[in-house]
Structure 1
Amino acid sequence: MTTTTPASPLAAEIPGAPASGTHSIEVAEAEAGERVDRLIARRLPALSRSRVKGLIEAGALSSGGATIDEPSTRVKAGQCYRLTIPEAVPAAPEPQARALEILYEDSALLVLDKPAGLVVHPAPGNPDRTLVNALLAHCGAEFAGIGGVKRPGIVHRLDKDTSGLMVVAKTETAHRSLTGQFAERTIDRRYRALAWGRLLPPGGATAAAEAWGEIAGNIGRSPRNRKKMAVLASAGKPAVTRYRVERLFAGGAVSMITCRLLTGRTHQIRVHLASRGHPLLGDPLYGRARPAALAALPEPVRREVEGFGRQALHAERLGFSHPDDGRPLLFESPPPGDLARLIASLESL
Structure 2
Amino acid sequence: IDKPSGLITHPSRFVESQYDVANTVSVSAWVLKHTPSVWGVGEYANRPGIVHRLDKETSGLMVIVKNQKMFAHVKDQFKSRKTEKQYITLAHGVIEEDSGVLDFEIAMGKDGKMAARPKVRQVNLQTVRTLQKGKDAVTEYEVMQRFAGYTLVRAKPRTGRTHQIRVHFFAYNHPLVGDPVYVNKKIQHARDRKLGRLFLHSHKLAFSDLMGEQCNFESKLPPELTSFIDKLT
Scaled by the length of structure 2, the TM-score of the pair is 0.85
RMSD (CA atoms): 2.0
Q: Which one of the candidate residues 243, 250, 253 is aligned to 2:141?
A: 243
Q: Which one of the candidate residues 161, 168, 177 is aligned to 1:272?
A: 168
Matched, 1:314 2:201: yes
Offset of residue 200 of structure 1:
2.4
Equivalent position amino acid for 1:172 in 2: Q
Q: Matches of residues 271-310 of structure 1 in structure 2 within 5 Å? A: 271-288=167-184, 290=186, 294=189, 304-310=191-197
Deviation per residue, 1:203-246 (Å, 9 max, x gap): xxxxxx4xx300012212112x11x1101353232110011111
Q: Which structure's CA Rg is the greater one?
A: 1
Contact 1:283 1:312 survives alignment (8 Å)? yes
* In 2: Cα distance, 1:216 partner to 1:125 partner: 34
Deviation per residue, 1:66-86 (Å, 9 max, x gap): xxxxxxxxxxxxxxxxxxxxx
Matched, 1:215 2:117: no
Q: Matches of residues 63-82 of structure 1 in structure 2 within 5 Å? A: none
Equivalent position amino acid for 2:64 in 1: V
In structure 1, the residue matched to 2:227 is 341
Deviation per residue, 1:87-114 (Å, 9 max, x gap): xxxxxxxxxxxxxxxxxxxxxxxxx100
Offset of residue 305 of structure 1:
4.2
In structure 2, the residue matched to 1:230 is 115
Q: Are residues 273 and 169 of structure 1, via their aligned partners in 2, closer, same or farther at CA, if it must alter by over 3 Å?
A: same
Deviation per residue, 1:43-71 (Å, 9 max, x gap): xxxxxxxxxxxxxxxxxxxxxxxxxxxxx
Q: Matches of residues 106-121 of structure 1 in structure 2 within 5 Å? A: 112-121=1-10
Structure 1 runs of 4+ aligned residues shifted over 3 Å read: 124-127, 288-291, 303-306
* In 1: Cα distance, 2:64 partner to 2:13 partner: 22
Equivalent position amino acid for 2:8 in 1: V
In structure 2, the residue matched to 1:160 is 56
* In 1: Cα distance, 2:51 partner to 2:192 partner: 33
Matched, 1:147 2:42: yes
Deviation per residue, 1:224-275 (Å, 9 max, x gap): x11x11013532321100111111101xx11110000100111000000000
Scaled by the length of structure 1, the TM-score of the pair is 0.58
* In 2: Cα distance, 1:315 partner to 1:137 partner: 23
Q: Which one of the candidate residues 71, 76, 81 is aligned to 1:185?
A: 81
* In 2: Cα distance, 1:183 partner to 1:116 partner: 25
Q: Matches of residues 8-47 of structure 1 in structure 2 within 5 Å? A: none
In structure 2, the residue matched to 1:97 is none
Gaps of 5+ in 2: 16-20, 118-130
* Secondary structure in 1 matching 2:178: coil
Offset of residue 115 of structure 1:
0.3
* In 2: Cα distance, 1:190 partner to 1:305 partner: 23
Contact 1:305 1:342 survives alignment (8 Å)? no
In structure 2, the residue matched to 1:56 is none
* In 1: Cα distance, 2:147 partner to 2:6 partner: 27
Contact 1:321 1:327 survives alignment (8 Å)? yes
* Secondary structure in 2 matching 1:154: coil
In structure 2, the residue matched to 1:263 is 159
* Secondary structure in 2 matching 1:169: coil
| Bigger RCO (CA 8 Å, 6+ sep) | 2
* In 2: Cα distance, 1:132 partner to 1:306 partner: 28
